[in-house]
Structure 1
Amino acid sequence: MKLDPFYLIVDSAAWIERLVPLGVKLVQLRVKTMDEAGLRAEIRTAKALCARYRCQLIINDYWRLAIEEGCDFVHLGQEDMQTADRSRIRAAGVRLGLSTHDGVELETAMAAEPDYIALGPIYPTILKKMKWAPQGLERIREWKHRVAPIPLVAIGGLNPDRLDGVFAADADSAAVVTDITLNADPEARTREWIEKTERWR
């Protein structure tokens, strides 16, 4: 499986409506706190938008709703992976991405036979408080050696200036949240990411 090198992560369908039409081909909907009815509506809107623009949608955490709404890709963190019914996810034909931060988590993730592995944070990040120090580019190389041929997603503190190093270290995709959503001009920043990652498509 090949992932697009530009992996956008947003917390609402509104962001998807705003940015995916610019040429985004891989987006994760990561909503942290919302009731089920609201979540279902967000997922449905996001799915319709991604279908229209031929963008791969990945649902974070809410694998049951993803299955019920006919989505074909979910992403789970380590804690969610422990409680998720992976056999049900697979039986539904849903692909699976998993987060990792250290060697133990990587072994756990690999045992689940994921469709991609995410490693982070590569650089310091403001998104959430992390108990892990920044991983750095050498860790990307180490992880890629251990997970190949499974695609490797780098996440955490990334910006366009850091992408050359990330891809030179053999990451397959670079995930971004705040560098775009907190930017003064998210559309312009998205275009910059698309342009910067074009050579790795």
Structure 2
Amino acid sequence: MKCDKRYMLLYAVTDRAWTGEQTLCEQVEAALKGGVTCVQLREKEMDETAFLQEAKDICALCHRYGVPFIVNDNVDVAIACQADGIHVGQEDMAAGEVRRRVGDAMLLGVSVHTVEEARRAVRNGADYLGLGAVFPTSTKTDVDQMTNETLRAICDAVDVPVVAIGGINRGNLLKLSGSGVDGVALVSAIFSAEDIEDTCRKLRLLAEGMVRA
């Protein structure tokens, strides 16, 4: 599966912290209806059996909407549910080892913070990169904020699609215009919204304006 940069436009990363009246699957479907272009399932606390079942359910849901489904970190779950891709960070399994495990057909995304990390990830088989945190964020407290200079330098240094992540919302998304990123990855800006579908519709319009600028 080739990583089209259009997949990066509005990239939803799940967080069950905001599940309540709705299940995570219902929240993801609302996001899909609103126009997200990729969904990453992120579960750090769930046991393997439950994680796999949830991954299968959300994978099937994404495919009904024609949107790629990515699993965060867990290579075994990604393979078992036949996900479209796997995303890993610098502290997770090395990109080269992940590529050997999943083969050539599955997308491989890697989180990077420097030009050196970006180039190494691409050499080791990354199909796209996640860059951040581009703004202050409470979701990832162990990552420093990336400067605009580093963001642009990474975009200029690689020839794979890139998505910005970290603290992005409707109020600051357009500040990324001209940076070279192909889209934005959002967590709380999507899943904490009262009306996820409507919020995603508005975010999609902003993201389209950002990449055109």
When normalised by structure 1's length, the TM-score is: 0.88
The one-letter code matched in structure 1 to 2:77 is: L
More deviation in 189-198 or 113-122? 189-198
**Do 2:109 and 2:129's aligned partners in 1 also have CA atoms closer than 8 Å?**
yes
> Where does residue 78 of structure 1 map in the other structure?
90
Q: Please, which of 138, 142, 153 is the counterpart of residue 149 of structure 2?
A: 138
Q: Over residues 39-79 of structure 1, what are the superposed CA-to-partner deviations in whole Å (9 max), with x where a residue is unaligned?
A: 11111110111111111111111122211221121111112
Change in 2 beyond 3 A, CA 1:39/1:194: same
| Distance in 1 separating the partners of 2:177 and 2:50 | 37
| Distance in 2 separating the partners of 1:173 and 1:195 | 12
Matched, 1:17 2:29: yes
Q: Give 3-state SS (helix, strand or coil) of 2:5's partner.
A: coil
| Distance in 1 separating the partners of 2:115 and 2:129 | 12
> Where does residue 160 of structure 1 map in the other structure?
170
> Where does residue 114 of structure 2 map in the other structure?
102
Name structure 2 gaps, 5 residues minimum: 16-23
Change in 2 beyond 3 A, CA 1:27/1:167: farther
Q: Give 3-state SS (helix, strand or coil) of 1:190's partner.
A: helix
| Distance in 2 separating the partners of 1:95 and 1:110 | 12
- Alignment coverage as a number of residue pairs: 198
The one-letter code matched in structure 1 to 2:38 is: L
Change in 2 beyond 3 A, CA 1:163/1:180: same
Name structure 1 gaps, 5 residues minimum: none
> Where does residue 196 of structure 2 map in the other structure?
186
| Distance in 1 separating the partners of 2:37 and 2:182 | 14
> Where does residue 121 of structure 1 map in the other structure?
133
| Distance in 2 separating the partners of 1:119 and 1:131 | 11
Q: Over residues 132-168 of structure 1, what are the superposed CA-to-partner deviations in whole Å (9 max), with x where a residue is unaligned?
A: 2x11322221111111x21111111111232223131
**Do 2:13 and 2:40's aligned partners in 1 also have CA atoms closer than 8 Å?**
yes
**Do 1:23 and 1:194's aligned partners in 2 also have CA atoms closer than 8 Å?**
yes
Question: How far off is 1:198 after superposition?
Answer: 3.1
Question: How far off is 1:188 after superposition?
Answer: 2.7
More deviation in 54-63 or 116-125? 54-63
Q: Please, which of 102, 112, 124 is the counterpart of residue 89 of structure 1?
A: 102
Q: Give 3-state SS (helix, strand or coil) of 2:92's partner.
A: helix
Q: Please, which of 15, 27, 39 is the counterpart of residue 27 of structure 1?
A: 39
Change in 2 beyond 3 A, CA 1:85/1:188: closer
Q: Give 3-state SS (helix, strand or coil) of 2:111's partner.
A: strand
Q: Give 3-state SS (helix, strand or coil) of 1:168's partner.
A: coil
When normalised by structure 2's length, the TM-score is: 0.84
| Distance in 2 separating the partners of 1:22 and 1:183 | 12
> Where does residue 172 of structure 1 map in the other structure?
182
Question: How far off is 1:104 after superposition?
Answer: 4.5
> Where does residue 2 of structure 1 map in the other structure?
5
